[in-house]
Amino acid sequence: MAHTMGIRVIAEGVETPMEYYTCKDIGADFIQGYLIQKPKTEVGKIKIAYKEVVELYKEDKRKNDQNKIDKYKIEFIEPLREDSTLHTLFSYFQKHQNNTFVPIIDKFNHLIGVVDEKDIKKISYSQYGLALAQNTSFSSKLGSFMKKFVAAELSWGIDKILELYNINESQVNNGIFITQNGKYFGFIGVHNLLLLSYKRNIEIAKDQNPLTKLPGNRKIEQFINDTLNDTEDNIYHFVYFDFNDFKPFNDTYGFRQGDRAILMFADILQKLPKDIFVGHIGGDDFFVGFTNETYEVIYSIVNDIQIDFARSAKSLYNKEDLENGSIMAKDRFGVLRKFDLLSVSAGIIEIKSDITNSFDDILGSLKKSSKLSCSPVGISIID
């Protein structure tokens, strides 16, 4: 309403990135709140530019570039104005014989309803229907024939539109209407919605592990690259987790129990604070990234994760193996031997400044060393 009147809008009390993205999505012109800066009594301490918001905008733009609606999937179905007569409506369907409905807009081009052809057939196909519609004393507006509709803003992106479709599937016979700044823009049919859903699922699969739904290799690589290219004075820690003796467990108890173990560990990691990056490299390998935290705190967190998983994993074993504290299984050479119950190794790398080409070598060495320790292994400080 404010924009219709030419007024710019300030959203107050914005404290989280999600609130910022919501304000951005609904078209707020300005934002105020702790996310930007806490109140200052000295004007000189007010920032000229807000790097945090710039980064949020860039990140959102990267997401939106992948989440954009292909405009060629949007069909423009010519609308009628709300003050149109029944005769105009009959003429519309005669002219557009492939259309089974017509969008109705107001004088501001806002979508206000839809009229289905089937709802006016009884009148239009009657002996005197057209003549009655031409009679101004009988002719009525379209309000009595209009139905509710499901519409989404063009800026919402594929994810929200597909979510809207799934929620309202019983009400959506043909598809979803698209608006831009509240004004009618077009229509996406069910066929194109299914194509968009298929395309989006493929894109999501590239960015997350299909089993745990955690960010996958592409997101992990992006996080590492952003970290290594950071010119600010930040301290980063990378933690690499790897299950111990997972193959013998998987061979003995089957892939379903193996997946349960992986999901169990993923659930433990997902309980970490939201500002900590958690990724699933694949199989039984996981990655966690910390920013501006002390090594002592991270060591304690990682150690607790190891203890928590070792305790939780005991529920995956039968009574006999649990009492023995081990299982009998063949190793990679086919030799039957004893293996300990599931646990996880952890290696920690601390990065304080520019990294060298030895990063992969250091990570590999840490991984090997962590296999020999029940506690987290580190630390490699790269200056």
Q: Read out DSSP for 310-375?
A: HHHHGGGS-HHHHHHTEEEEE-TTS-EEEEEPPEEEEEEEEE-S---TTHHHHHHHHHHHHTT-SS
Q: What is the mean pLDDT of residues 264-270?
A: 95
- Categorize the per-residue pLDDT at 94 as very low, low, confident or very high, splitting at 50, 70 and 90: confident
Per-residue pLDDT reduced to its tens digit, 123-164: 665 555 555 555 554 445 667 788 888 888 887 778 788 888
**Whole-prediction pTM:** 0.52
Which domains does the chain carry? 10-67 (no CATH), 72-199 (3.10.580.10), 217-382 (3.30.70.270)
Supply the mean pLDDT for the chain. 83
Per-residue pLDDT reduced to its tens digit, 327-366: 999 888 888 999 999 999 998 888 875 555 456 666 667 7
What pLDDT is attached to residue 139? 44
Enumerate residues 6+ apart whose C-beta is below 8 A from 100.
116, 117, 118, 174
Per-residue pLDDT reduced to its tens digit, 16-75: 888 888 888 777 888 999 888 888 888 888 887 787 788 887 776 555 555 677 778 899
Amino acid at 280: H
What pLDDT is attached to residue 158? 81
